[in-house]
Structure 1
Amino acid sequence: MAEGIVASAQDQSKEDASRPSIQSPAPPPDGGYGWSYSVYLAYYLSHDIFPDGRSIDFAFIGGFNFAFALLVAPFATLLMRLFGVRAPMFIGVVLLPSGFIGASFATRIWHLYLSQGVCIGLAVGLIYIPATAVIPQWFLKKRSLANGICSAGSGIGGLIVCFATEGMLRSLGLVWALRITAVVVFFVNLVATLLIRSRNEEIKPDLRMFNFHLLSDYHVQLLLSWSFVMMFGYITLMFSLSDYALAIGRSGSDSATVAAILNLGAACGRPLIGYTSDRYGRVEVAGILTFVCGILVFVLWMPATLFSVLLVFAFISGGILGIFWAAIGPLAADIVGLKELPAFLSIAWLSVVLPTAFAEVIALELRRPEFGKRSYLYAQTFAGLSYIAASLILLELWRSRRATAKRLESDSESS
């Protein structure tokens, strides 16, 4: 984080310096490479580069980006506790370009699993989990807004990366697209790691890896259930949208444009989400946006056989489909408290490993090429229902918390 940004946030943090800061909600894959892999996925599905590779393999590779980034979270937390914020980040700075370079030499599908799947996934987790833990340390009242602004950066970066990736794939081919990306991500992440500043010495956050007694709380169970169910819709939507453009007869360039517009929506929408969450309530905003995203799948994405309609859907959904990453930390802080938050987040990351690993696999298995432009009909239904079901879980969380608050208020008045 640049010094100027840090300095501008200090006045905000001084309002309550005695309180411990929450850990950041934003785990690694929300943006950046997570967005750009949708371009690679569409490319792999439309080119016979790996004869031993099937559609399900490429879906698993994308899922591994998320799954291993989340699986490494406890280890990243341990490294932060032992050696500071930068230690795991420097490891990730080396691993990330190594994964891209390794993928450029891949000749078999299992090479791609190890390089573009496991290696890059681990690297993303080691870089972004420690980095995003710094953002809330410099803000208090407008913490969600600050997180939304920073999350918008992943949208802007993804916007650039998607166009650049598609351009390199078209003009230079897969090998050099991967190698050039390796060089870029190495230098960008190295500079960012050198500039980052944390307040861990002052705050002394609780960096325990786990605290499983939290699972006995009903509100915790609901929050984890929302995370688990919604992630099926999120991964399906994010990874499938680019290939859907090809399914309705558009070019590879148009496919990359869809992914880029998705990023543009994220860049525009996330600061607004942060502002409204601070103002109107985190459970309320997260629940409404989860429901809206599910409805948009049915009313915009499902009938979208025109490219213009698909772009509208990509822009609107881009701002809200990743509500999990923006909301999980603030929601968890409200439910378990600041002291227990790091341990809860480690559980939360592990709780979504399975859906992140298998959601796109399920989506591609549901795909029906013989349906032509409607080939993603079942996958779209799967994504929409996932979001709607998840929103109902947050509705129950909202109801239960209100009932608990009223009961405590009544007990206080009677005493």
Structure 2
Amino acid sequence: MSDGIASNVANDPREKHDDAGHPVDVVISSAEAPPSPPPDGRYGWVCVLACFCVNAFTWGVVASYGVYLSYYLSHALYPSATSISYAFIGGLNFSIAMLLAPIITIFARQYNTRVTMILGSLLLTSGFISASFATKIWHLYLSQGVLVGAGVGFVSIPCIAILPQWFDKRRSLAGGISSAGSGIGGLIFSFATQAMIDNISLAWSLRITGIVVGIMNLVAAMTIRNRNKAIKPPQRGFDLKLLRRYDVLLLLAWAFVSMLGYITLLYSLSDFARSIGLNANQASAITAFLNLGTAIGRPMIGVVSDRYGRMEVAGFITFFCGVTCFAIWLPAKSYGVTIFFAIVVGAILGVFWMTVGPIAVEVAGLVELPSLLSLSWLSIVLPTTFSEVIALKLRRPGSGHEYLYPQIFAGLSYFVASGCMLELRRVKRKHKRHGNNP
């Protein structure tokens, strides 16, 4: 038996011996030790709940901007403002959050996730409350645009890399449940915002929203917990070396082009409803139903992604988004058909947000996840800023089909994006067969 033990020790590649042949202890540095595998649950489910809350009270609130946009477009509140001015505000909610992503990643590394999220909660609250006192359009740019966008980024960006640290086999399911929060938040705030505007005022709607989102995100910040000590991610703002890889460029192209369709759909539906003769309450209900679809569809897509493949499902659903734009939205002329479209497309239009984390892990690995996510956020700055601006410029008021060109624009964007994802799937499968990386 002792001979067998000696043989095992001698064959152990980690064992070191001195000149006399005696074994000596070897200290494996933390840099050499492999990352601790995700536990696939445990406290991770608490983090799922916290991320659900974050999504509800950041992206969910932002998703209801369509109600504000419809109100701004139908009321001359600021003499110098145009429809394009109001479109920029919603775009800034996304683009500022994404533009600050590398800085937020570094900030989270220096001051930890909790401090970063608390700062974001304060920025969100100050953005909405200061918007309630705006008297000029540039006041809205800085408050409801820049400040709210920065708050969304500081709260939500640190959370996106946390769930993949806790889950492996159930990674897409956890992400789907978490991202469903944006649908629930959007559903609540779409109805609540319109009700507050009608019964109280626009100013108090903004103030109450600011107070509620600030409190709820502070609760989430105190609850969430990362596994950075076990994973030891570099948490670089972004790693430019990743841009030399074809698979990374395909992922970023999918992100960029799909956002052109996503923002157009998210913000245009409420005003589209008014363009076909629906009233203000019906228009806000359309935005609410879109968010209802989001809440229902995202967990289901998470389950399907875990079973049939994240890239496969992301590519198919991106393509199907384009199909619905042409098959359902284009001929929609009634309240009922528009509601049906809102629910269907709401379940699938945000496939990027559900799958980008798990797909990024498959492309670059868990350790490089923060860097690749930062590059993903930067890649969607331009489309999130200008998509709705383009959509509003493409409108044809008084033509009888005002949103024809925005509808075509959204549908084609999803078709092109699906091609990028399916090409990424082909590349990864090819390299997997050959046993190497791009």
What's the CA shift for 1:201? 2.8
TM-score, normalising length: structure 2: 0.86
CA 1:181/1:71 → structure 2, altered by over 3 Å: closer, same or farther? Answer: same
Please say if 1:392 is aligned against 2:407.
no
Please tell me whether the aligned partners of residues 79 and 87 of structure 1 are also in contact (alpha carbons under 8 angstroms). no
What's the CA shift for 1:137? 2.7
CA 1:30/1:308 → structure 2, altered by over 3 Å: closer, same or farther? Answer: farther
Aligned to 1:145: 173
Please say if 1:404 is aligned against 2:431.
yes
Please tell me whether the aligned partners of residues 297 and 346 of structure 2 are also in contact (alpha carbons under 8 angstroms). yes
Aligned to 1:335: 363
What's the CA shift for 1:11? 5.7
Render the CA deviation track for 1:137-192: whole Å, top value 9, x for unaligned: 32221011011011112211211111000101111121111111112112111222
Aligned to 1:97: 125
Aligned to 2:306: 278
Aligned to 1:260: 288
CA 1:283/1:11 → structure 2, altered by over 3 Å: closer, same or farther? Answer: closer
SS of 1:279's partner is helix
What's the CA shift for 1:27? 8.9
What's the CA shift for 1:246? 0.7
Please tell me whether the aligned partners of residues 233 and 386 of structure 1 are also in contact (alpha carbons under 8 angstroms). yes
Aligned to 2:193: 165
Alpha-carbon distance in 2 for matches of 1:347, 1:319:
26
Aligned to 1:383: 410
Please tell me whether the aligned partners of residues 235 and 356 of structure 1 are also in contact (alpha carbons under 8 angstroms). yes
CA 1:56/1:161 → structure 2, altered by over 3 Å: closer, same or farther? Answer: same
Please tell me whether the aligned partners of residues 227 and 352 of structure 1 are also in contact (alpha carbons under 8 angstroms). yes
Aligned to 1:316: 344
The count of aligned residue pairs is: 390
Q: In the alignment, residue 341 of structure 2 is paired with which amino acid? A: F
2:159 aligned to 131, 134, 137, which one? Answer: 131
Structure 1's consecutive aligned runs of 4 or more residues displaced over 4 angstroms after TM superposition are 26-30
Please tell me whether the aligned partners of residues 224 and 348 of structure 1 are also in contact (alpha carbons under 8 angstroms). yes
Q: In the alignment, residue 260 of structure 1 is paired with which amino acid? A: A
The runs of 5 or more residues in structure 2 that have no matched partner are 1-37, 43-50
What's the CA shift for 1:401? 2.4
Alpha-carbon distance in 2 for matches of 1:352, 1:121:
14
What's the CA shift for 1:223? 1.0
Q: Higher mean Cα deviation, 334-343 or 357-366?
A: 334-343
Please say if 1:326 is aligned against 2:354.
yes
What does residue range 26-105 of structure 1 map to in structure 2 within 5 Å? 31-105=59-133
Please say if 1:358 is aligned against 2:389.
no
What does residue range 171-250 of structure 1 map to in structure 2 within 5 Å? 171-250=199-278
What's the CA shift for 1:406? 3.2
Alpha-carbon distance in 1 for matches of 2:72, 2:219:
31
2:335 aligned to 289, 307, 312, which one? Answer: 307
Render the CA deviation track for 1:367-393: whole Å, top value 9, x for unaligned: 111123x10000000000000011111
TM-score, normalising length: structure 1: 0.90
Over aligned residue pairs, what C-alpha RMSD do you find? 2.0
Render the CA deviation track for 1:305-351: whole Å, top value 9, x for unaligned: 11101111110111110011111111111111222221111111101
SS of 1:74's partner is helix
Q: In the alignment, residue 298 of structure 1 is paired with which amino acid? A: F
- Percent identity, aligned pairs only? 54
Q: Higher mean Cα deviation, 66-75 or 182-191?
A: 182-191
The runs of 5 or more residues in structure 1 that have no matched partner are 1-9, 15-22, 410-415
Render the CA deviation track for 1:64-110: whole Å, top value 9, x for unaligned: 10000101111111111111111111111111111111111111100
Please tell me whether the aligned partners of residues 321 and 349 of structure 2 are also in contact (alpha carbons under 8 angstroms). yes
Q: Higher mean Cα deviation, 313-322 or 193-202?
A: 193-202
- Write 1 or 2 for the structure with the bigger share of helix: 1
Q: In the alignment, residue 261 of structure 1 is paired with which amino acid? A: F
What's the CA shift for 1:196? 2.0
What's the CA shift for 1:208? 1.1
Alpha-carbon distance in 1 for matches of 2:189, 2:406:
26
